[in-house]
Amino acid sequence: MLPVQKFESLPLAEQMQYIREEGHYLHYRIKGWCKINIYWLGSFYAEVWFLYNLKDVGLIRTYTKATCLDPYLAEMNVPLLFE
């Protein structure tokens, strides 16, 4: 797996290719006219912002802390196993 600094230095098309080949899809969220997918890439997370109106990826953001998952966890409906 690439370190986050090396990943960030890649052009957008190569970042997307790397995410498709190596990323583990976790979840998505909707914000305005964007669908945002989050992937785990070993030592970091990557958000892919897909712009509906342009039908294209607008940007990719990287995170090294799991707190970036908070917006996704807030939207998930996970049944409680124990009460």
Is the pLDDT higher at 77 or at 67? Answer: 67
- pTM given for the model: 0.84
pLDDT score of 83 = 52
pLDDT score of 5 = 97
Between CA 44 and CA 69 the distance in angstroms is: 11
In CATH, what is the architecture of 4-75? 2-Layer Sandwich (3.30)
- Residue 48: what residue type? V
pLDDT digits (tens, 9 = 90+) for 20-54: 999 999 999 999 889 999 999 999 999 999 998 88
Please report the sign of the dihedral spanned by the C-alpha atoms of residue 60, residue 65, residue 66, residue 67.
negative
pLDDT score of 34 = 93
Between CA 72 and CA 67 the distance in angstroms is: 10
Is the pLDDT higher at 77 or at 26? Answer: 26
Domain residue extents for the chain:
4-75
